Amino acid sequence: MAPRTLSKVTKALIAPALALGATIGLASAPAQAAVWSSCDQWGNTTLNGYTLYNNIWGSGAGSQCIWANSGTNWGVNANHPNTGGIKSYPNAKKVINKSITSLGSLSSSYNVTVPSSGAYNTSYDIWDTAYKYEVMLWVNYNGAVGALGTSQGNLTLGGHTWTVYKGNNGSNDVFSFLRTSDSSSGTVNVLPILKWIKDTKGWFGNVTIGDVQFGFEITSSSGGLDFTTNSLSVSSS
């Protein structure tokens, strides 16, 4: 994966200023009547405690529309060309705003339906409140995609076995955990992963965890492909 010149969070932060005027084509919406849908580049809404973003942030993107029945049941139809570079990261975000040491628990369950073609990953994107550190947890991936940085070896933690990568995209440090086999549903115990980064590796200190995002980082989906989050939960104490 080529380094990103502007991070997904940078694009998300400027989304409100652009949401009224920016659109990227028209992709097909789901057959069912959704509570909310948008084909805007930066389309976003909040439903039952989760903020949804269409988030078409990469160069050379095609069309993409997001729909949602709730903050935890949503999806996109995306038609991005078969070229390199990440085109979008449609996601649902839950705000945590707790330091690692003040968290008693942080976990998430997911159930997704993803296409057999295209180039993408299904991932959590976890940020500190200063947006200096990004922790990505890839639960499945397909096609010509790869993690930023260098491999740190394999690790079994949080209920899964991962290959860990450490890198920097020019804006922030990125710690990527790629599941060694694809999963369409499961539960991730996130807090032990954050504590491993902090206590075992010392890659960051007692940072405050801001956003836990979950979605689909799409590089290509030529012809129009569907990505669906059937269910999602993010819980902390």
Measuring CA to CA, which residue among 76, 77, 89 is closest to residue 8? 89
DSSP 158: T
Q: What 3-state DSSP class applies to 66?
A: strand
Average pLDDT per 10 consecutive residues for the chain, totaling 237 residues: 42 41 42 84 98 97 98 98 97 98 98 98 98 98 97 98 97 98 98 98 98 98 98 98
| pLDDT for 58 | 96
| pLDDT for 225 | 98
Query: How do beta strands 160-168 and 173-179 pair?
Result: antiparallel
**Residue 217 · residue 93 · CB < 8 Å:** no
Determine whether 215 is exposed, middle or buried from the number of CB atoms within 10 Å of its CB (0-12, 13-18, 19+): buried
**Residue 31 · residue 56 · CB < 8 Å:** no
| pLDDT for 103 | 98
pTM: 0.87
Q: Where are the domains of the chain?
A: 8-236
Task: Name the fold adopted by 8-236.
Answer: Jelly Rolls (2.60.120)
101 Rama sector, left if φ>0, alpha if ψ -120 to 50, beta otherwise: alpha
- Token pair of 101 as six digits: 């040491």
**CA dist., res. 213 & res. 123, Å (int):** 8
The helix (run of H) or strand (run of E) holding residue 151 is strand 150-157
Say what the alpha-carbon torsion angle 128, 11, 180, 208 is, to the nearest 10 degrees.
Answer: 10
What is the chain's length?
A: 237
